Amino acid sequence: RQLENLFDASLRSTVPHETSVETEVTACLPGRPGDYQCNNAMGLWSIIKGKKTQFKGPPAVGQALLKNLPASEMVESELCSVAGPGFVNVILSSKWMAKSIETMLIDGIDTWAPTLPVKRAVVDFSSPNIAKEMHVGHLRPTIIGDTLARMLEYSKVEVLRRNHVGDWGTQFGMLIEYLFEKFPDTESVTETAIGDLQTFYQKSKSKFDYDPEFKEKAQKSVVRLQGGDPTYLKAWTKICDISRAEFSKIYQRLGVVLEEKGESFYNPYIPKVIEELNSKGLIEESEGARVIFLEGFSIPLIVVKSDGGFNYASTDLTALWYRLNEEKAEWIVYLTDAGQHQHFSMFFKGLGNGYMNQAARKAGWLPESDKTYPRVDHVGFGLVKRNDGKPFKTRSSKVVRLVDLLDEAKTRGKAALVERGKDKEWTPEELDQTAEAIGYGAIKYADLKNNRSTSYTFNFDQMLSDKGNTAVYLLYAHARICSIIKKSGKDIDELKKTGKLALNHPEERALGLHLLRFAETVEAACTNLLPHVLCEYLYELSERYTTFYSVHQVIGSAEEASRLLLCEATAIVMRKCFHLLGITPVYKI
């Protein structure tokens, strides 16, 4: 960012008339003769070549950009160069780099947090449906959503972590009716009496499908519930409570915090919002339903069903209205699988969607451009698959329950530790905690490291391996750094105050440079809503550390103090990455 400002100044003085040109500074690819590069010369040339200009071509523009770069202790001016068609390659001063890392060691890693142009955001994530068990399909919206929320929070954005649970709708008719049948005395129903809600749901569903009398009762039940009948509301609350208790156990294990505002919350606001859309002339009648026609879509968006009831879309439109107007969110991010892409693109154009006439823009709720705020995005993602490429199901073709998956991850994590004899060295609590950190961390990382839009294969053996790009490998790498620091016998906090950091050798410098790229990486991952970018960064960090450590002696060397500080800075940045990815670091292995 600082370098961008320098080039900005240079650009303004090189071509004072071209005020609309944006400065473009990027990190150099490995092997290129620079740390960062400014890519503006070619673009500038194509703008100014038709006009009267002193420059003879893009390289000359590049030379001028370099010459006009304000002097700064950050840049090693003599080492900078202009390459090819005007790329300005910048070499950062190793002294400045070392100083920046020293400052972070003293002031804390939070001083490296990026600043985003929004104050408040809604992240709508996880969002399972009541009375259905959380299964492997809920893994991605929960994990990816949590990471995005963590990255935004780190960037000083106030995040409303919204669990948009499916707690309203026709399925409640059958559930309530079935509850009345099984437990005439609703008061006494407890979690254990119902047993597993999933089975309860299935039984009531099959009764609904095969017993016409029950079906009729269930349909009446919905009307009474939506009309606010206290007996029905009580039964509804009961079912929601039991479900909620199950969900929260999973969230607790995963370390995920959410605030529930389910579909039912928005229900009272729906008529008002529909009225607003109607007064703007957006709503039309079609086959008894009230709909919004949108160009580019073969079907209209139904906002009131022909029976007068509301649906998923009515609720989502209202939730969007609420978030923009009542909660004053400047950025709203929705996480669901890519299958719901059409649903969301009917409301707004988000990242990668292609329509400009969505309902929310037609209503004037959102700006014309998706580059200005408030900004709304649908973060879609691919599926979790089995080794053979099929959807992830158990042998009896039931979906895999998330609880079972977490149990297995922990069991396997523990087995690996026992195999390494840790049960003899550690207390049972330590063993347990480490097994959870490894097991849950492995699941999360295996998910997050993939570009979210692709599907990935769930493979326990692979994700729990201590080699390759896995959470286990990274957790071990971090623990190893911690043990090196400990083994040195030095008081690292004291060293931070008194010690000097130097980046004299290429491997030290390469590691230091990567540390300094932390903030821009988090910013890119946030802005583009791509957590895998942070995973790539973390893996590269541990690789650069390994290279550094395999070439240079730390303990007992003449540069021990400096190298210990570099170890500590690496450990701190790794821990921050773990934190942002929702992974618990471990300190010994």
Q: How far apart are CB 237 and ligand ARG at their closest, in Å?
A: 19
Q: What CA–CA distance (Å, rounded) separates 268 from 378?
A: 25
Contact 485, 71 (CB under 8 A): no
Tell which residue, 167, 528, 526, has the closest CA to residue 319.
167
Q: How far apart are CB 144 and ligand ARG at their closest, in Å?
A: 13
Site for ligand ARG in 287-316 (CB under 6 A): 316
171 versus 488: smaller Cβ distance to ligand ARG: 171
3 versus 529: smaller Cβ distance to ligand ARG: 529
38 versus 123: smaller Cβ distance to ligand ARG: 123
140 versus 164: smaller Cβ distance to ligand ARG: 164
Q: What CA–CA distance (Å, rounded) separates 531 from 525?
A: 5
Residue 264 touches ligand ARG, criterion: CB under 6 A:
no
128 versus 585: smaller Cβ distance to ligand ARG: 128
161 versus 478: smaller Cβ distance to ligand ARG: 161
Region for 177 from its dihedrals, namely left if φ exceeds 0, alpha if ψ lies in -120 to 50, beta otherwise: alpha
Contact 74, 93 (CB under 8 A): yes
Local structure of residue 123 (DSSP, 8 states): E
Based on the number of CB atoms within 10 Å of its own CB, is 426 exposed (0-12), middle (13-18) or buried (19 or more)?
A: middle
208 versus 266: smaller Cβ distance to ligand ARG: 266
Give, rounded to a whole angstrom, the gap between the first and last alpha carbons of the chain: 37
* 409 contact partners, CB below 8 Å, separation of at least 6: 439, 440, 442, 443, 460, 464
242 versus 510: smaller Cβ distance to ligand ARG: 242
Q: How far apart are CB 303 and ligand ARG at their closest, in Å?
A: 14
84 versus 309: smaller Cβ distance to ligand ARG: 309
Local structure of residue 286 (DSSP, 8 states): E
Q: How far apart are CB 490 and ligand ARG at their closest, in Å?
A: 51
Tell which residue, 399, 515, 383, has the closest CA to residue 447.
383
Q: How far apart are CB 166 and ligand ARG at their closest, in Å?
A: 4
Q: How far apart are CB 344 and ligand ARG at their closest, in Å?
A: 8
336 versus 521: smaller Cβ distance to ligand ARG: 336
* Of positions 336, 345, 469, 521, contacts ligand ARG by CB under 6 A: 336
Q: In the beta sheet, which residues pair with residue 457?
A: 385
Residue 89 touches ligand ARG, criterion: CB under 6 A:
no
What are the DSSP calls for 398-467, one per residue? PBPBHHHHHHHHHHHHHHHHHHTTHHHHS-HHHHHHHHHHHHHHHHHHHHHTS-TTS-EE--HHHHT-SS
Site for ligand ARG in 99-158 (CB under 6 A): 124, 127-129
To which H or E segment does residue 159 belong? strand 158-163
Contact 386, 454 (CB under 8 A): no
Q: How far apart are CB 337 and ligand ARG at their closest, in Å?
A: 8
343 versus 496: smaller Cβ distance to ligand ARG: 343
Q: How far apart are CB 289 and ligand ARG at their closest, in Å?
A: 20
Residue 126: C-alpha distances to residues 71, 347, 479 (Å) = 49, 20, 31
Pairing of strands 120-124, 158-163: parallel
Q: What CA–CA distance (Å, rounded) separates 232 from 226?
A: 9
164 versus 532: smaller Cβ distance to ligand ARG: 164
Q: What CA–CA distance (Å, rounded) separates 549 from 566?
A: 11
- Using omega within 30 degrees of 0 as the cis cutoff, is the peptide bond preceding 33 cis? no
Q: How far apart are CB 135 and ligand ARG at their closest, in Å?
A: 11
Indicate the length of the chain as a whole number. Answer: 589
Indicate the SS3 state at residue 120: strand
Q: How far apart are CB 360 and ligand ARG at their closest, in Å?
A: 13
Q: How far apart are CB 332 and ligand ARG at their closest, in Å?
A: 9
Per-residue contact flags (x/-) with ligand ARG for residues 368 to 397, judged by CB under 6 A: ------------------------------
Q: In the beta sheet, which residues pair with residue 87?
A: 83
Return the amino acid letter for 328. Answer: K
Residue 319 touches ligand ARG, criterion: CB under 6 A:
yes
220 versus 398: smaller Cβ distance to ligand ARG: 398
Count residues near ligand ARG (CB under 6 A).
10
Site for ligand ARG in 159-188 (CB under 6 A): 164, 166
Q: How far apart are CB 256 and ligand ARG at their closest, in Å?
A: 15
Tell which residue, 123, 187, 179, has the closest CA to residue 150.
123
Residue 478: C-alpha distances to residues 65, 348, 390 (Å) = 41, 42, 35
Q: How far apart are CB 286 and ligand ARG at their closest, in Å?
A: 23
Residue 334 touches ligand ARG, criterion: CB under 6 A:
yes
53 versus 170: smaller Cβ distance to ligand ARG: 170
Q: What CA–CA distance (Å, rounded) separates 153 from 94?
A: 31
Q: How far apart are CB 96 and ligand ARG at their closest, in Å?
A: 46
Give the residues lining the site for ligand ARG (CB under 6 A): 124, 127-129, 164, 166, 316, 319, 334, 336
